[in-house]
């Protein structure tokens, strides 16, 4: 097995669009890395430069330590799956899966037979070899597309929004299934999605892309809990964002004046008084306080931020409940309670608190 490394990869399309602006990443052998970001940020272009369908205008691509920057796709030994599956409609499932091995011309018929059978077992669809793609459901076709990509035992698996056209339930099943298969064979995988939930639940690490660059690369918990930028905080999940100016920094904590509201937050290196920042609070970090604050819209103590407000909206999200709380100065807080039960309802006056330690600062 083998890793993938991108060094300063840049892609400018003929006509001038600068789609990828010098991205660097070392993907370890067996790692599952997701490129996630809004439409047009350069995810697909980055993936296609790894596959060799696009040549970078600058930088280097290495697969398994070999530089392949200028190599054509067939010399790179990667397997790719696209959103539309692209199975060959006139071929049987057997022929679809065997295709890459037949084309390589290096395998005996017995080897191909055995591999097709093994792949069908792997994707849990034994017995469909003689069917054609139109005799399978969408989810089954996607499994076959995966089997076809994996059959020649590529060094890496490249997936471009492979689950995007499946309905929500099937998509969630396939997320688990895809990850199971990936872990079972330990193949290095790069996955492209604009779906933040998918990125957070499936990956060993994710690279959050914005405007052709990697804004942050890290494990899901880290990127979610410790966003490096306002963009990352806002793009992944829901964030309460308070813009303000730092008035003091002490012991790793900052005091931030957010237009009349004083918040305390964990600081980060380089943050100085006078800096324009945003304080980020994830909805599940808030708690409801039984003790009322002593008046005002918020009272900052050394380590707790407290808000008074009224619940304006409540909705159930299955295993959790989301509540919106409006403060007297017109701010709306999004609060998520992990337990699916919460007896509070719209109209209730509440006190909401969050520890400074649970708040994060990013540059505005």
The residues that touch ligand ATP, with contacts defined as CB under 6 A, are 13, 15, 17, 19, 37, 39-45, 194
Least Å from the CB of residue 5 to ligand ATP? 19
**Residue 93: how many CB atoms within 10 A of its CB?**
26
Least Å from the CB of residue 170 to ligand ATP? 20
Residue 17's alpha-carbon distances to 49, 160, 297, in angstroms, are 15, 21, 47
Q: Which is nearer to ligand ATP, 3 or 40 (CB)?
A: 40
Least Å from the CB of residue 84 to ligand ATP? 13
Q: Which is nearer to ligand ATP, 46 or 96 (CB)?
A: 46
- Describe the chain by its helix, strand, coil percentages, rounded to 5: 25, 35, 40
**Residue 103: how many CB atoms within 10 A of its CB?**
10
- Is 115 in contact with 107 (CB distance < 8 Å)? yes
The pairing of beta strand 58-63 with beta strand 4-12: antiparallel
Q: Which two tokens stand for residue 98?
A: 């065997």
The pairing of beta strand 156-160 with beta strand 188-193: parallel
**DSSP letter (8 states) at residue 284:** G
The pairing of beta strand 18-27 with beta strand 4-12: antiparallel
Least Å from the CB of residue 17 to ligand ATP? 4
Q: Which is nearer to ligand ATP, 84 or 348 (CB)?
A: 84
Least Å from the CB of residue 9 to ligand ATP? 12
Least Å from the CB of residue 297 to ligand ATP? 40
The DSSP-derived string for 201-228 is HH-SEEEEEETTEEEEEE-HHHHHHS-S
Question: Which of 152, 160, 21, 136 minimizes the C-alpha distance to 87?
Answer: 136
Q: Which is nearer to ligand ATP, 196 or 278 (CB)?
A: 196
């Amino acid at each position: 097995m083998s890793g993938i490394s991108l060094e300063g990869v840049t892609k400018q399309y003929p006509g001038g669009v600068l789609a990828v602006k010098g991205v660097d990443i070392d993907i370890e052998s067996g790692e599952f890395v997701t490129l996630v970001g809004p439409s047009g940020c350069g995810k697909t272009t980055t993936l296609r430069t790894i596959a060799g369908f696009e040549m970078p205008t600058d930088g280097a691509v290495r697969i398994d330590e070999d530089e392949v920057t200028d190599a054509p796709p067939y010399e790179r030994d990667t397997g790719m799956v696209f959103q539309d599956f692209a199975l060959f409609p006139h071929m049987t499932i057997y022929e679809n899966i065997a295709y890459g091995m037949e084309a390589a011309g290096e395998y005996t018929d017995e080897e191909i037979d055995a591999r097709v059978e093994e792949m069908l077992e792997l994707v849990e669809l034994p017995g469909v070899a003689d069917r054609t793609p139109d005799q399978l459901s969408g989810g089954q076709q996607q499994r076959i597309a995966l089997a076809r990509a994996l059959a020649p035992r590529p060094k890496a698996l490249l997936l471009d929004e492979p689950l995007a056209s499946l309905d929500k339930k099937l998509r969630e099943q396939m997320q688990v299934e895809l990850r199971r298969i990936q872990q079972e064979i330990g193949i290095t995988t790069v996955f492209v999605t604009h779906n933040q939930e998918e990125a957070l639940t499936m990956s060993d690490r994710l690279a959050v892309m914005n405007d052709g660059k990697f804004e942050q690369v890290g494990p899901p918990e880290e990127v979610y809990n410790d966003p490096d930028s306002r963009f990352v905080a806002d793009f992944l999940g829901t964030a309460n964002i308070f813009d303000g100016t730092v008035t003091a920094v002490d012991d790793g904590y900052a005091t931030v004046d957010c237009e009349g509201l004083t918040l305390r937050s964990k600081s980060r290196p380089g943050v100085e008084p006078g800096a324009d920042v945003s304080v980020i609070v994830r909805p599940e970090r808030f708690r409801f306080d039984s003790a009322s604050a002593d008046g005002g819209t918020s009272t900052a103590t050394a380590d707790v931020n407290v808000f008074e407000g009224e619940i304006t909206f409540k909705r159930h999200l299955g295993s959790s409940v989301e509540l919106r709380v409006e403060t007297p100065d017109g701010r709306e807080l999004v609060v998520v309670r992990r337990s699916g039960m919460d007896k509070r309802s719209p109209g209730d006056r509440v006190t909401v608190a969050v520890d400074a330690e649970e708040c994060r600062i990013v540059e505005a």
